[in-house]
Amino acid sequence: MAPWLEAKMLGCERDDRQLFDQLSFAVGEGDIVRIAGPNGAGKSTLLRILVGLSSSYSGDLYWQGQPMGRARYDFLDNLLYLGHSPGVKANLTAEENLAWNCQQASRTEIFEALESVGLRGYEDIQTSSLSAGQHRRVALARLYLHPPKVWILDEPFTAIDKAGVGRLEQTVINHAQQGGLVVLTTHHDLAVPVKTIDLGSSDFKPTEREGGIE
């Protein structure tokens, strides 16, 4: 069976700086993949390229063996992407946000998801009056609402408290154990062994940077 998400000779240059070059990997069912690298190494950029938000790259992307261009809608159907700004509307309540973000979810399911991220009792409050961490949790609640197979998460642990991080980590692990794929960037060390894609550790040798699965 073809791997779910495959990159061949991926390269990206930004502002005359080679972020990564000849990056090839294939990930699929049950994988937790961590994109590692220092600040500015291009971790978020790589995620944006993977989901198709950025098209300034060289190389090829495949979804289940098919070129991404052809399989795009099928890929999007299976994708949950949480970026730096995860699309939580400040003027909507937590419940309204989730109702829009996951339209097939029933009210009970939304309440359960909010309970899972510790926001039970906050569903009627506009997210503008929530704290940064709670704001983030509203976005993360999507992980509990009919989650699709592929999760691509950009710094999911940011602004989350210790207990929340533990729970979120467990959710990520459970998802992988149930056959899902999680690609994430984080500086937090996960409790289970994960695949790592290292985007290099130096800002001084832009030409020698080469990534690969360890």
Partner 1 sequence: MSISPKPQLSLTATMKALFKRDILLAFRARGDLLNPLMFFLMVTSLFPLAVTPDPVFLGKIAPGVIWVGALLATLLSLDLLFKSDYEDGSLERMLLMPQPTLFLILTKVFVHWLVSGLPLALIAPLLGLMLGLPDGGYLPLFISLLLGTPVLSLLGAIGAGLTVGLRKGGMLMPLLILPLYIPVLIFAASAVQSGSQGQPFVGQLAFLGAYLAFTLAICPLAASAAIRISVAR
Give residues 91-150 in contact with partner 1 (rule: CB under 8 A): 91-92, 96, 99-101, 103-104, 126, 146-149
Work out which of 26, 71, 76, 125 binds partner 1, going by CB under 8 A: 76
Within 10 angstroms of residue 3's Cβ, the number of other Cβ atoms is: 17
Residue closer to partner 1 by CB (options 29, 210) is: 29
Q: Does 53 bind partner 1 (CB under 8 A)?
A: yes
Q: Does 180 bind partner 1 (CB under 8 A)?
A: yes
Q: Does 2 bind partner 1 (CB under 8 A)?
A: no
Write the CB contacts of 79 (distance below 8 Å, at least 6 apart in sequence). Answer: 51, 148, 150, 152
Show the tokens assigned to 37. Answer: 């690298």
- The dihedral through the CA atoms of 156, 57, 1, 211 has a sign that is negative
Size of the site for partner 1 (CB under 8 A): 39
Q: Does 156 bind partner 1 (CB under 8 A)?
A: no
Binding site for partner 1 (CB under 8 A): 29, 48, 51-56, 73, 76-79, 81, 83-92, 96, 99-101, 103-104, 126, 146-149, 175, 178-180
